[in-house]
Chain A
Amino acid sequence: MSSVDRAAKADRIRHLLETEGDAVEANTLGFNRGRYESVADLEDYETLKEEARTIKENAIERLPELVDELTATVEENGGSVYLADDAADANRYIRDVANEAEADRVVKSKSMTSEELEVNDALEREGVDVVETDLGEWVLQVADDAPSHIVAPAIHKSREEIARLFTDQFEPDVPLETAEELTMFARERLGDLIEGADIGMTGANFITADSGSIVLVTSEGNARKTAVVPDTHVAVAGIEKIVPSVEDLAPFVELIGRSGTGQDITSYVSLLTPPVESPVVDVEEPDVAFADRDDRRDFHLVLIDNGRTAMREDDQLRETLYCIRCSACANSCANFQSVGGHAFGGETYTGGIATGWEAGVHGTDSAADFNDLCTGCTRCVNACPVGIDIPWINTVVRDRLNREGDDGRFEFVYDELVPDEEPGGLDLQKRLFGNYGTLARVGSATAPVSNWLAGLAPVRALMERVVGIDERRELPTFQRETLREWYDARGPRIDTADADREVVLYPDTYTNYVDTDRGKAAVRVLETLGVRVRVPAVGESGRAPFSQGMVATANRQASRVYAALAEDVDAGRDVVVIEPSDLAMFRREYEKLLPERSFERLRDNSYDICEYVYGVLENGGDPGGLRTAGDGPGIAYHAHCQQRTLGLDRYTTAVLDYLGYDVVESDVECCGMAGSFGYKREYYELSTDVGDRLADQFAEPDARDRLVVASGTSCEEQLGDLLDRDAVHPIEVIDPRFRWPDP
């Protein structure tokens, strides 16, 4: 990306932060909080999620067969089924239905699949009036705007904006102000439009192959009206919406509302088996009793392929088809919470899973613009009711995008510095951050000159212009003596004979070259607990290239790490990791990079440093030598996002608690720094906007005088930048040598 492009992107993000950010933030945070509360009421939440996933896995596996079964069922019921290859094909069919019905007006219930087709445009070109009946979607139609969220399309609009819009467009007799007034105005207007409509068009959240039922999950009731008032119903759905049987709906009905807007269930879950028995509401025959009518309803199910069959055959994109469009990935995403779907979305779909959908239905390029907004924080992974590894899909698509661009201009300058496996022409910024380990090694070897150089204004200006490192960010200071060098010179302090346990402390790039203090603290804490420590030469985990979508490079680094650690694992030594993002590689991401057995062995034998300390204490370890709270201040603790996904933050709080510390833990999804993300010129404003949610929490009265503690390096940097208070790693707090920093 050129510096001009970066500046343009930064401007666009800043504009959205200013115009839509507040409304998006309030709504998504509300949905997300609702999700936490609502799923907490479910005793068997994890079981339901597994069940939902299994149903989807099987359904997609059996998809061709289910399409046939559904087709037969619907036709037997008296409806028609059309399997459309792509948008043009679907639109042609729908236009034919409209022509046949001599339709002047189609009323529509919100459907992302129909947005994917752009069916409104197709019908309007034929002179058919199309009216969206979902109130949010209708607001967008009136405003000529696009959805910014899969479930709540108009969340970026405030009540005041909607009131202005209605006043300008409709010049109502009485001024409209409150949400109630706006809703009633829309209800009345749309009610009339529905009653005079010739065709009702809906989507489908699920379709059951055994009964041919269309399941619509809504709260307003517009989908019900749309389906049963006109005499013709057209349902538009991607083929992936099919589940085998009615009974398979159970976990989804319990999960979809909770996952999306945090409601236990939406007001209406319609299970319509068209052609439905309900009579037509014919305003031209106002006095004919419904019971006396003998309606022949017309039903058309338009099943859309539009890339889905290819997605099914694509081992990396297939999981996208399990998506039930609940929006949990968007609501739980720290970046989405700030900018919404107008930045974090493509032609149709928004939020974390949008990358998969866009790449699948519109092509990889349509994900290019927003794909980097996924920082791989993984907070969406646990939120997804069908357990889709959304960050992995984003990484795969990023990798594919990396391989597309190839202008090779700076290759010759860079090749020495970038020992990676990536194709020439890869974006310089990605290449720089992807090779951070090499940079750190060189920087450390040449410190303090490298630090001095990196601090010079002209150098920073150049860095911003060429590779897009924002000048406003303070750069990490490289240490002349690495953690490994320190440890080699010092040697172990516990004899093998006296050691209760022996561990390998993984020297991650940041701890080894930059924050050696926390590495030293970890060594001292472990030794205080009678653990013999080794700090061997093990290379980078691959996190840095992985997060840039440089999968081949990450793959090579993962193999090397495993090779370097395999003997220790064989010898029964545990691998203890300080940096959560590296631990998350071992525990999660290596599943995609290593042979299954290797992954499992490393996963099962690697521990977060505080998790390990917790385990030693639980097993009778003597905490006597560790630093206890004493009369020091309380702690404001921010766990790392990937650590929280793995459920490991509780060990840190448990250890601190055990040693008498008073801890307040943050509840934000991610600090917004996310490794290299916050350094990037184009994302700096977004990163600090996200970080402000965390900083604000730590500025509250119950946290503002506390010691700031963070598990991740990027979290420490972000907090340091935003709060002007130094943050430390929890292992430093309990280090016998720890001194409270000056306030």
Chain B
Amino acid sequence: MGVHAERFDATLADLDVPVTHTDPTGFNRTLETIARDPAIGTALPFESVSLPDWVDDEATPATLQSASTGITAASIGIADYGSVVLPATPSGAEQVSLFSDLHVAVVRADDIVPDMRTAIDRLGPRLRDGGSVIVATGPSATADMGALVRGAHGPRDVHVVVVETGDEADE
């Protein structure tokens, strides 16, 4: 387990966000237990794992509407905040992470950093290169209707899958 993963797990627990640790061999089975049908996703930019066949990885506006689960990669996990950094991609990772009731974020244990500053320092070059990311912490929420409600415009539930792997960074 990465050095910051324990803290990451604890903050996610505080946020009421379930987190599951797995390794490349157990990845597909782990996703199966978490995802609700139908599931859509965008290709994971990791060497060790990829989306299983039962996940539709060619999302369209129509499947975006009908999917219950959206699975996307997170490039960074931030231990202090329980945040995942979700890069936007031409294949629609931004939408896939936002429209479904359940968002499953897949992050590699090695990409978990201790704090916000480290994460932002990493994002500098990516953004200057034209990239866009969402720092997402827990589900979408609002208190505008008189009480805290999860799932305002985005997902009601978030599940973080941490992949334990010795992969080199390959995004």
Contacts and interface: CB of A to CB of B under 8 A. Distances in A.
Q: Are both chains from one complex?
A: yes
Contact of B141 (A195, A264, A267): A267
A179 B98 CA distance: 21
Given A222-B152, A288-B60, A159 B139 contact: no
Given A268-B136, A269-B135, A271-B132, A219 B59 contact: no
Contacts of A289: 58-60
Nearest to A220: B152
A282 interface: yes
A594 interface: no
A281 interface: yes
Contacts of B93: 278
A225 interface: yes
A287 B128 contact: no
A135 B144 CA distance: 6
Contact of A265 (B62, B81, B90, B117): B81
Interface stretch (A14-22, A247-255, A382-390, A669-677): A247-255
Interface stretch (A180-188, A545-553, A729-737): A180-188
A190 interface: yes
Given A271-B123, A289-B60, A183 B142 contact: yes
B120 interface: yes
Contacts of B120: 246-247, 249-250, 253
A77 B136 CA distance: 25
A162 interface: yes
B127 A211 contact: yes
Contacts of B148: 179
Interface in B119-160: 120-121, 123-124, 127-128, 130-149, 151-155
A222 B61 contact: no
A183 to B, nearest CB: 4
Interface in A179-216: 179-180, 182-184, 186-187, 190-191, 195, 208, 210-211, 213
A309 B32 CA distance: 57
A271 B144 CA distance: 24
Interface residues of B, number: 50
Given A135-B144, A221-B98, A273 B152 contact: no
B141 to A, nearest CB: 5
Given A253-B116, A281-B95, A267 B145 contact: no
A183 B145 contact: yes
Chain A: number of interface residues, binned into ranges: 35 or more
Contact of A182 (B130, B131, B136, B145): B145
A273 B153 contact: no
B20 interface: no
A331 to B, nearest CB: 14
26 contacts: A180-B147, A183-B142, A191-B153, A195-B61, A211-B128, A211-B130, A224-B98, A224-B154, A249-B120, A250-B117, A266-B137, A268-B135, A270-B133, A271-B134, A274-B132, A276-B88, A277-B88, A278-B88, A278-B89, A278-B90, A279-B90, A279-B95, A281-B95, A286-B61, A290-B60, A290-B90
Given A229-B95, A289-B59, A291-B90, 12 more contacts: A180-B145, A208-B127, A213-B127, A220-B153, A224-B98, A224-B134, A247-B120, A267-B139, A269-B134, A276-B94, A286-B60, A289-B58
Interface of A: 77, 133-136, 139, 152, 154, 158-160, 162, 178-180, 182-184, 186-187, 190-191, 195, 208, 210-211, 213, 219-222, 224-225, 228-229, 245-247, 249-250, 253-254, 264-274, 276-279, 281-283, 285-293
